[in-house]
Amino acid sequence: MKPVLLIIELILVLPAFLSAQYATPGTGVYWSFDSLQVHGSGTVTVVNDSVFINEALFISAMDTLKDDGRRVFFTQTGTAAEVTVNGSFIVTGCSFDHADSSLRWSSLRFEGGSSLIEGCTLQRAETGITISAGQLSLGNSEIGFCSDTGIRLAGSADAQIEYCTVHDNDGYGIHITSEGAVMVRESIIENNSKIKSGRPGVFIFDASPQLIGNEIVNNSWQGVGIWQQFGTALPVIDSNLVAGNLSGITIVNASPLIRFNEIINNFQPGNFESGAGVFIGFSQANPVLYKNTISGNHFGIALQNNGRVICGDLADSDSTHHGYNRILGNKFGSTVYDFFNETSLDQKAENNYWGTDNADSIAAHIVDAGDEPGYGVVDFMPYLPHEPLSVANNQLPFPEYPVLVRAYPNPFNSRVRFRIEGGFRMRFSDISVFDLTGRKLRTLRLYPTKNGLETSWDSMDRNGRTVASGIYIWKLSSPGQPVSGRIILIK
């Protein structure tokens, strides 16, 4: 019997178990889904490895819910379809979904305590994870297909998100307003803001998170949006790939440190109002751009409404203010717009590389007072006549090293695992498996882990049929030379 049919049959018998919401008593007890079925007055039903949450579940302060390897299904909608945590929530290898794929559950909601989610999948929620207080460590997990936001961090929450994939959410991928310590590291944020416009892949509002080593790509709005209304927020945007979004990084009244990033190919074809690699607006905005590559966008750096930028000022004693950016090849049609200063303020952009050693050519790619009397001057002298050594390892941005793909075990009898090591590994998105006739059997999404990008194949084709013993070809998607190999299935 197919799993989906089993789920439908189980849903039909669940109403007998339905009951009011349940809160653990707060007595310092470790709970599992099995013990919640016994003591939770019908809020939780367990059938084999499947867990059905039938009403709102509260994990009280001092209590801990700990479980692993479960398929968790919510049977209700709205606030009846959420878990709220004030104690601890420790789950590994679990999946969270709605029992009816046409409906959405609410959220895993964290309001206190210390929690860990590792190796889990959360999909088809309204907001996958909401944390407003306490600490959360989220690793090696996937959050996708939410009707609003993948992850929302607010209040005083502390959170570390690493090696995760946040994708295909209708609104924000990650929404950050938390005043706590937040780090998003080595994760993929892609294909968000699919339906709701104005929702960046990562949105930062009056907060100071660190975004380090992520791939923020193909979001339908900005890759990163940074807004400041009150106080002094100082986000750090470090060593990320920001590519293929409507625009790259949008900064409004904020002063983040933006360094070692590759901000490339952000635009919507034919849309002149899209495509700023870095957009800076309004009078409190004064970000630092240091050792970035900004290329292939419609506009490299664009300023409006009295925004300012520290893009290279050699008189400043702070070395991060000394430029070393690569700003080149940003154009709409045949016109290059590497720097567009639509403010009345003069801007410093010294000590950067503009793709040429000719000052007149650089000036021709900058829109400032020389083009419009009301605009301020962009001071790009002196400039770097050659490519800078511009990232942390003193290499050109995001160099390509040899890529190692491990397929193990090989031969295999049911499941083979793939691990990508070496290179700038965040550029690879999937591995495809083919039979010897060239017919594609499956495309496998790669997920970031602390050891590299990883995925596995369960010997099934795209229609859920198990394939026969034999030799199969895998191919790694790559922006450069294709990488492929053979695997052998022996039953």
Q: d(Cα 315, Cα 31) in Å, to the nearest integer?
A: 60
What percentage of the chain has pLDDT greater than the value 90? 71
Asked if residue 33 has pLDDT above 50, the reply is: yes
Task: Give residue-wise pLDDT tens across range 205-227.
Answer: 999 999 999 999 999 999 999 99
Run of H or E including 4: helix 3-13
Report the alpha-carbon distance of residue 308 to residue 270 in Å, rounded.
28
Res 309 pLDDT > 90: yes
Kindly report the number of other CB atoms within 10 A of residue 298's CB atom.
25
Question: Is 77 within 8 Å of 55 (Cβ atoms)?
Answer: no
CATH code of domain 404-489: 2.60.40.3080
User: Which whole-number Å values give the CA distances from 301 to 201, 249, 272, 292, 337, in the listed order?
Assistant: 19, 10, 14, 12, 8
Non-local CB neighbours of 353 within 8 Å, separated by 6+ positions: 324, 325, 326, 327, 328, 383, 384, 385, 386, 387, 388
- 40: tokens are 């939770």
In this model, does residue 1 exceed pLDDT 50?
no
pLDDT of 6 strictly over 60: no
Token pair 């793939």 is at which residue? Answer: 418
Task: List, for residues 103-149, the tens digit of each pLDDT value.
Answer: 999 999 999 999 999 999 999 999 999 999 999 999 989 999 999 99
